[in-house]
Structure 1
Amino acid sequence: MIRLRLYTTLGCHLCEQLEALLATLCAERYQLERVEISDDEELVARYGVRIPVLVDEAGQALERGMAPERLADWLAVRGWLDETAWQQLQQQLSGETSPGVTKRAAKGATLHGGRRYLG
């Protein structure tokens, strides 16, 4: 199981977006440790304008990973990218749909009205 750390803060919609993308695009099982930066002045100074920051076990960080392409690249370098999910997401983002392809929700999520809801 992969262990990841997410530097975040309460109510961060970009962090929520990253978590939803991670659930969709990561092919491996992972454990996500959320680190609340607002509780520590040093963390606020370090990550305050850079969140969300996703860090792997080796300490390699992805800053502002809520852009699907950036997260997909970061996951692919580590061999963790679900290629099928990435292709489907790219089609959704570009407005294309192939015949017979159904839209796939993030693992553990449901699609409702075109939006993903984590359960």
Structure 2
Amino acid sequence: MIRLRLYTTLGCHLCEQLEALLATLMAVEYRLDRIEISEDDGLVERYGVRIPVLVDARGDELERGFMPERLAGWLAARGWRDEAAWHRLQRPLGEEVVAGEPEPARGATRRGGRRYLG
């Protein structure tokens, strides 16, 4: 199981976006440890304007992982990207779906005042 850390803070919509993308694109089982930066002045100083920051077990950091291309590239470099999911995510809206393939992600939707991907 892959273990990742996510430096985040309460109400971070970009962090929620990253988590949704991660759940879609990850090809292997993983555990995500969320680190709340607001409780530590040192973490606020280091990550305050950079969150969300995703970190692997070696300490390699990914900033702006809420951007699909950045997260997909980071995961691919580690052999963790689900290629079929990445392909579906890139498919233009309205493109015909091949029988047997899952529906493509449909972008962000609002439910109960919150934004959700796909």
- TM interval, short-chain normalised: 0.7 to 0.9
- Tell whether the 8 Å contact from 2:5 to 2:35 is kept in structure 1 after alignment: yes
Q: Distance in 2 between matches of 1:7 and 1:99?
A: 36
Structure 1 residue runs without a partner (length 5+): 106-110
Paired amino acid for 2:93: G
1:80 CA drift (Å)? 0.2
1:63 CA drift (Å)? 0.6
Instruction: Name the SS of the counterpart of 1:7 in structure 2.
Output: strand
What does residue 97 of structure 1 align with?
95
1:98 CA drift (Å)? 2.9
What does residue 108 of structure 1 align with?
none
Q: How many positions carry a matched residue from both structures?
A: 109
What does residue 5 of structure 2 align with?
5
Q: 1:45 to 1:112 in 2, by over 3 A?
A: closer
Structure 2 residue runs without a partner (length 5+): none
CA RMSD of aligned residues (A): 2.1
Q: Distance in 2 between matches of 1:10 and 1:3?
A: 21
1:116 CA drift (Å)? 4.2
The within-5 A match list for 1:67-106 is 67-91=67-91, 94-100=92-98, 101-103=101-103
What does residue 58 of structure 1 align with?
58
Instruction: Name the SS of the counterpart of 1:79 in structure 2.
Output: coil
CA offsets 1:6-33 (integer angstroms, 9 cap, x no match)? 0000000000000000000000000000
What does residue 16 of structure 1 align with?
16
TM-score, length of structure 1 as denominator length: 0.83
Q: Distance in 2 between matches of 1:102 and 1:37?
A: 37
What does residue 39 of structure 2 align with?
39
Q: Distance in 1 between matches of 2:97 and 2:24?
A: 21
1:95 CA drift (Å)? 2.2
Identical amino acids, percent of aligned pairs: 63
TM-score, length of structure 2 as denominator length: 0.84
